Structure formats: C-alpha cells, structure tokens
Copies of this chain bind each other. A is one copy, B any other.
C-alpha cells in the first residue's frame, strides 16, 4: 500500500510520458488541457505528491525559508524571549501565506551559522532574528554577503554594509514613551537596560530617551542608567541597584517590557507605589504587558507587520529584485503604569 508513487507511475496509468506528467502537474501551457485534467485526476487518485528533494535538486530551489534565531546566551536556556517568540509566530504565518515552508533554528553565535542553510540548499534564503550585540556579528554578516547568500535581518540598519534590514525606530520609540512620561509631570528619570555593552537596539532607545529629556529641559543623570538584559530577573535586580544608589527618581524607562515588569515588581516589593510614586514604561508590548498590575504603558513593535516585511523582502532578494531596508514606527500604547 505504501510503496511510494512517482511521476512514472502516473505516466503509466495515464498512458503518457513522465515529462508530460511533470508538465501537467506544474500547469505548463505546453500540455493539452484534456491531458492535464486526466493526469491531475490520476495523481489525486493515487495520492501522489511531488518529491520535494528531487524537485529541489533539479530546480535548485527549495521553497523553504530558514529562520535563524539568536538568543541572549545569558538567558535561561529553556525560555525564549516572548518578543522574539511573537516574531517567530508572525514570520511563520507570513511565509506560509507566500507558500514557503519555514525551517526554524536556534543558534549559538559560535557556530558556523552563516553557511549552514543556504549552502546546504535546504533554504532559498535566511532570516536573521535576534539582538545584534555580539562582537563578531558584523564579521559574519560580511561573510554572508561574500557568499552571496540571500538574507534579511531584524534590527537597526548596519552602517556601511549593504544589508537589508527591517527594524523599528527604536530612537523614536524611546523618545515617544519618555515624552509620554514627561507629560505626566515626572522630573527625575531612570533608564534600565544595557547601553554600553548591550545591543544597538537598547542604545538607540536610550538615545531617544535622552533626547526627549533634553528637549524638555530635563536632566539626564548617568547614575540613573543601570545595565540590564531583557529578562524579568535582570530588571528586578537593576531596579534594586537603582534604589541602592539613593538618588531620588520618579520615573523608570525600561529598554524592554521584560525589564519593566521585573522592575515594577522590585519597586512594589520595596514599598513604592506604581504609578503614583513611580511611573514605569516598557518597550515591545509583549502579551504580558497588558496583564501586569498596573498594566504597562509601552512602545509597541508591530510584529505582524514586521514578519510580513521580512518575508516579502527576502523573497524579493531571492527572485533577484531589489529590496530596501525599512524602518517601522512604534506605537505608544497607554495603559496604567504612568498614571494616565
């Protein structure tokens, strides 16, 4: 029952050649309509499915996109940053919509990831997802370009490299949320998130944050910027360090929702009132952001749109078209963590 059906079997049943079967199934105009119908009918009857390996081997196209997901190695190994998880979901959807399969792979930055998929012909192109805060990241991008691998990446534009990126406007997002807090009459701002050592994303958000303060004639106190990576725990600890400085502040801008959520808990545990005593804003708008108490005001990154853009641009590259880096705006989502 299970012996695999090939196009030759269909050909035999239909009384035509294998070539004709192949053409008929691919709706080639070269084949007579009547023949095509017959072939397709038989194919369906026999539950025939094209062998993708053979097909890919012949055409040198796999109909597959590879998604490489880089994670902060300091994170708990078993959990994925919910923001990237959300991106993963939208990319999956977007590629399915385009008729492409999605090969998902977690990566340690140490690996030879730059070659592992397109070079093995398993994928037509690659999507790079993760924070670009690794020392040899750019170097590997250069390798990818040299190999003429088709790829797009999530994140800020890389200066000097002809790389197609889709990212959100972190600077503006940082500006946006900070300005919102300023409008709520806060005067002394802290910022939680790695700036010097951290990702370029965090840095851009911080820069936006500072710009907003300056534009409103408020002071930027470097002592109130505490490094943190994007986890609850790190946010919690950063907030504790913040309190330990003894410096007074009435607002916290976090580089990500996870940090904000951890910080919020730390402040509450320390007896502060949010938002009356301390205003807190995050960044990303992950699912949990709407469920905290008070619900978290944040800068939303549109993951659905992002996924579609990444896939669209990658496929443009694959088909030889031009594709341009694109910056998406963030949306201010006002909830309760700033007072109004």
Contact = CB atoms under 8 A, between A and B. Distances in A.
A273 interface: no
Interface in A86-111: 86, 88-90, 92-93, 96, 101-106
A193 B120 CA distance: 47
A96 to B, nearest CB: 6
A49 B115 contact: yes
B93 A49 contact: no
A259 B52 CA distance: 41
Contact of A288 (B96, B120, B288): B288
**On chain A, which size bracket covers the interface?**
35 or more
B47 A57 contact: no
Interface string A64-90: 100001000000011110100110111
Contacts of A88: 85, 88
Contacts of A47: 115, 119, 147
Contacts of A115: 47, 49
Given A53-B122, A92-B105, A287-B288, 10 more contacts: A49-B115, A51-B120, A82-B287, A96-B105, A101-B103, A101-B105, A102-B105, A261-B291, A291-B291, A291-B292
